[in-house]
Amino acid sequence: MNFLKLTKNELYLVSAFTGFLIALIVLTFYMPNYYESQEPVSLDVPRGTTLNKVIDTLYDLGVVPNKTNMKIAAWISGTDNKLKAGHYELPNGLNYLQLCDLLSKGIPLPQKLITIQEGIWQEKLAQLLHKGMGISVKEFMKLSRDRKFIRSLGLKNVNYLEGYLLPNTYYFYEGSTAKEILIKLSKKMQQIFSEAKVIERMKELHMNEKQILTLASIIDGESNIVEEFKKISGVYHNRLKRGMLLQADPTIQYIVRHRRRKVNKIYYKDLAIDSPYNTYKYRGLPPAPINNPGKDAIMAALYPGKNNYLYFVADGSGGHVFSKTISQHLRNVQSYRGWRNSQRHN
């Protein structure tokens, strides 16, 4: 358009139209948006939330009167690429562009530091998260057995999540749900088993993920001393190769944990319990993990120490004494019992 050839009336119309557009932009994007309440509106934006989802929430809360205008303002300001997860207290009367600016800066959501012990039972994990995060024990345990949810995690032939959640020290956002935490812990475990070297190693051992996790859970249940893990793993690999009963005490403790409060002491009657988890009665590995093993135990299950040991017993100081023959083992057992009896009389 050649503005030099426009008549006065035409220039007036162009100027009027331009002024109208500017006024419309100002009214649309710079005028305050008020909602009914005088209190700030709280908004939590979890990580991974899309801008459209945030705008839908803002609209539902009455913070913005028009979703399209908010989307345009986000595009103009670049907020669509700079949206920050966090907790927001939104004061009344923000215009679209002010709101976009606020959402692009972010105020970090409060987080809680939770340490999950290696070898923790599922019920104990639920109680830990209830105490530290306010998570419902009932909901956590229900989801742990929800086959549809378990399948959504990419786990096949798994009926219970115990053993498939990686213990470690984690930061969780306050307000995290049981489902969000289970997803996070499961993904962390899957990262280990998605490594090429781990996949190759399982092929070498002719073992699958469930078998490795089951063995790792027994190893974690046997000792708190990481330096012993590979030696203990060597014992169980040796027994599996020979077709021997594993005779692993943690599997008995797993069976009786719902029958009595104290499980540390095992009675002879416990060894006769008819359960597929009873490794004193049935050969091979139990059907599934008996706790949530840590990475150290998993690595030990994958890379056992090379030894000829077939037996081990507590040494009274927190560790174990290993032996190659039954006669040597029985002597070690007798020594341990003598030490234990001496402690009772002190």
**pLDDT in tens for each of the 346 residues of the chain?**
454 555 655 555 545 444 444 444 444 555 666 666 656 787 888 878 888 898 898 888 888 888 888 888 788 878 777 788 877 877 777 787 888 888 887 665 677 899 999 999 999 999 999 999 999 999 999 999 999 999 999 999 999 999 999 999 998 877 788 998 999 999 999 999 999 999 999 999 999 999 999 999 999 999 999 999 999 999 999 999 999 999 999 999 999 998 887 888 899 999 999 999 999 999 999 999 999 999 999 999 999 999 999 999 998 888 999 999 999 999 999 988 887 777 776 6
**Cα dihedral 266/269/271/277 (nearest 10):** -90
Each domain of the chain, given as residue ranges in start order, spans 31-105, 111-193, 207-307
Instruction: Give the class (CATH, top level) of 31-105.
Output: alpha beta
Residue 317: per-residue pLDDT:
83
DSSP string, 50-96: -HHHHHHHHHHTTS-S-HHHHHHHHHHHTGGGT---EEEEE-TT--H
Residue 67: per-residue pLDDT:
86
Which residues in 186-209 are b (16+ Cβ under 10 Å) and which e? beebeebeeeeebeebbeebebeb
Residue 29: per-residue pLDDT:
53
Residue 280: per-residue pLDDT:
97
The answer to whether residues 99 and 70 touch, using CB atoms and an 8 Å cutoff, is yes
CB contact set of 156 (below 8 Å; sequence gap of 6+): none
Please report where in the chains the tokens 């859970």 appear, as a residue: 217
Candidates 241, 165, 161, 231; CA nearest to 207 is 241
Name the pTM for this structure: 0.73
Residue 26: per-residue pLDDT:
46
Residue 91: per-residue pLDDT:
76
Residue 3: per-residue pLDDT:
46
